[in-house]
Each structure stands twice: as C-alpha cells, then as structure tokens.
Amino acid sequence: MDFLADATAGEPEMIRTRRAIHQKPELSFHEVATSKLVADRLESLGIKVRRGVGGTGVVGVLKGAKKGRVVGLRADMDALPVEEESDVEFRSKVKGVMHACGHDGHVAMLLGAARILAEHRTELSGTVKFLFQPAEEHGGKGGALPMIEDGAMRDPKVDYVFGLHISDTYNSGEVAVRPGALMAAPDSFKIKILGKGGHGAYPHLTVDPIYIAAQIVIALQGVSGRMMDPVQPFVVSVCSVHSGTKDNIIPDDAALEGTIRTLDKGMRKRAKAKVSEVAASVAKTFGGKAVVSFMEDAYPVTFNDPRATGKAAEVLKKIPGLKVRTADQVMGGEDFSRFLEKAPGTFYFLGTRNEAKGCVHSAHSSKFKMDEDVLKLGAASLALLAAEFAKPKGP
C-alpha cells in the first residue's frame, strides 16, 4: 500500500474540500454545514456514520476485512472569530470568522485519509474510527469531552488515537513528534479583589483594590521566578485588569483574569495553590481580600504515550520525502488531550511553513495561510498510522 501515492491522487479533492470549508467557516459548536459535509462524504465512502455526537461531532467507523485493533483519528472542525486578511482568493465569506488555525485543512486531510483507507478496506486489519470534533477553540469547554461522554471512544473501544495540527514552526515536508508532555494544561483564573471605595484624595480611609491588583500582578511573577522548579516550563500571565469608573474615585473592587500553563501534573497542582496563596496574602497585607477561582475542567496536559509515540515516529519515517523531527514542547493547550486520557496515542505537528509562498504567519493571525502542498503528507500520515496500529500486533 503506497499511501503517499494515494494521497497525491486525492490531493485535488482535498484542496477543493479545504477551500470550500475555508470560505464558510463556522465557530465552535456551530459547525453545522461542516459536519454535514463530513458526514455526507464519509457515507459516500461506505463508512458507517453517527451524526450529532456531543453536539455537532461526527464519528465514522470503517471496518477492515481482517481482525485487528481499533484506531481513532481525530480532526477538529471549528473556526475563530477573526476577520481574514490573508491574500488567498478563497477568503472567508463570513464576516469576522476565519479558519485561522488550520482546522479546515485538518478536516480535509482526515477526509483524505478516510478515502485512502476505505479504498484499501479489503487489505485493512482492525477498525478505524474517524473522530470529527467540534469546538476545539472553546477553552476548557471544548467538543472532545461531550463526544467522549456521548460514546465516541466506545463501541468499539478505541485502542490508539492519533491527531495532528498544522504548525508554522516547522517547514512544509516536516512532521514533529514528541513522546511525553507536548502541550500545556491551560488553567485560566479569575481574581476578585475586594477593597473599600472612597475619594481619591483620602486613600487612608479606603482599601484600594487597584493598588492591591497591581501588587498581585507583580507578585505572581514571583511565583514563576521563586516558587516553581526553574527547569520545568511554567507561565503565569495576567491578561485582563478591570476596575474603576472615574479619576478621583477609589473603587470597591477590581478583577484580574489570567492563565497559568504547566506541562506536569505536580507543577500544575503547585502552581494553582501558589497563585491562590500569593494573591490572598498580598490582598490581606493591604487590608483587602482576594477571591481566586480557576476554571473547572480545563484541558489536561497533552501527553503522548511514549511507547506509541516511538512507534509512530518509526511508522512516519516510512513516508517518502517526509522528514520526522522531534517537536519542541509548547505552552498552548489542546482539546486532543482528552482523547489521550482515554487511549494511548500521539498528537503531532505537521509543518506548513513555506517562506516562498508567504506561509509564515502564525495560527490565529488574520493573515494566517496554510501551505496546501502538505495536505497529502498529512492525509498519508494519518492513514498510515491507522493501518499500522490497527494490525493485530501493531507496528
């Protein structure tokens, strides 16, 4: 089976699909047209389809002719609230909405992989499950968990799961793989600072929440610099500050919002505890009170099973012309982490950086542009991982 040749044959269809989705981007949990396109296409390939899984999710099940394992392949489908400024002729037709994270390409590649695998079903072992998920861009409340709760990883139970994300860090023609922690647990927090308002001319009669907020913003960097293991990646950023109405009124309260990023369970626990402690004690020092809350159900660390990932890297090396690199850890979060909690597998990056074509802008940028030449590589990689890991004894 030469999956790269098959993917190259399917390239025009993948480009058409990707551009069609690109022009009609849909925001998280509103992927109605996209999921219909996906489900219809899978059905046309003779793949059994379940629609409306965990919202707008779609699950396709393809049974090979021979016995084997169950491999899940995932693509995310949602777009972002960004006004497109890229120079492509198939720009978004929806004002203020853009596929700026490449999920249009992810969908096209997974559909491309589905075609390849469906056409080889007589030679295929095991079962491949196609997991098209809504709302990856929905913070901790993304579409993976509702899909899992709706049975996406059961009946048949998924033994291995794989997913990819296009990346402007790596060049076209490269994939980047990493065993262990790849992406961070993104824990967002809110700090409500309660003071006592009054006149700006008489601060001694007030408890100034803005002053306390400023002290907390500074002190939190001390958590990073003085309280966490310096050889472990850690970020704390305060990204929103709100308080006050007028130049001479000290308000009653202030609100901070931010995010902490960790790549390790122990670090995560400690970081949350330290952020809470420091905020509370700084507020207390200046006579106020800080109420710290973390968003529940934030994404976990995206943790690639080391054994499966080592094998996946070997499998990917079989694709002619594809360079397999070691991925750097990143502090972004990924909803795919939820699937990796249910089955071992790997999330990997597919390089799409191409200076000559101007594909240099980062994901989430209004100028983001994908190198479509990599669609065939992505599709071949997914199809090959599925075919190899679905074999009774694996790759």
Closest CB 350 distance from Zn ion, rounded Å: 12
CA 256 to chain centre: 25
| Structural contact between residues 73 and 57, judged by C-beta atoms closer than 8 angstroms | no
Determine contact, residues 349/176, Cβ cutoff 8 Å: yes
Question: What distances in angstroms separate CA 61 from CA 32, 43, 50, 125, 134, one per listed residue?
Answer: 20, 10, 8, 13, 18
Q: Which of residues 240-259 bind Zn ion (CB under 5 A)?
A: none
Catalytic residues, by residue number, are: 299, 372
The answer to whether 370 contacts Zn ion (rule: CB under 5 A) is no
Q: How far apart, in whole angstroms, are the C-alpha atoms of residue 259 and residue 163?
A: 25
Q: Six-digit token pair at 139?
A: 């913070």
Give the nearer residue to Zn ion in terms of CB position, either 101 or 292: 101
Q: How far is the CB of 68 from Zn ion (least distance, A)?
A: 30
Which residue's Cβ has the minimum distance to Zn ion? 101
Which tokens hold the place of 47? 């793949």
In whole angstroms, how close is the CB of 369 to Zn ion at the nearest point?
15
CB-count exposure of residue 23 (10 Å: 0-12, 13-18, 19+): middle
CB-wise, 101 or 161, nearer to Zn ion?
A: 101
Question: For Zn ion, which residue of 58, 101, 107, 301 counts as binding (CB under 5 A)?
Answer: 101
C-alpha to C-alpha distance for 38 and 15, rounded to whole angstroms: 14
Nearer to Zn ion (CB atom), residue 71 or residue 135:
135
Residue with token string 């809470």: 276
C-beta closer to Zn ion: residue 100 or 116:
100
Nearer to Zn ion, 38 or 217 (CB): 38
Gyration radius of the chain's alpha carbons: 23
Rounded Cα distance between 102 and 98, Å, is 9
Q: How many residues bind Zn ion (CB under 5 A)?
A: 1
Please choose, out of 101-109, 114-122, 277-285, 318-326, the segment that lies near Zn ion by the rule CB under 5 A.
Answer: 101-109
Buried b (16+ CB within 10 A) or exposed e, 144-162: bbbbbebebbeeeebbbbb
Minimum distance, C-beta of residue 268 to Zn ion, in the bound complex (Å):
21
CB of 164 to Zn ion, least distance (A): 10
Name the residue nearer to Zn ion (CB basis): 70 or 101: 101
CB of residue 197 vs Zn ion: minimum separation in angstroms? 40
Give the residue with the Cβ less far from Zn ion, 34 or 243: 34
Residues 40-99 that bind Zn ion (CB under 5 A): none
Shortest Å distance, C-beta 101 to Zn ion = 3
Q: Which two three-digit tokens encode residue 11?
A: 């390239």
**Interface residue list for Zn ion (CB under 5 A):** 101
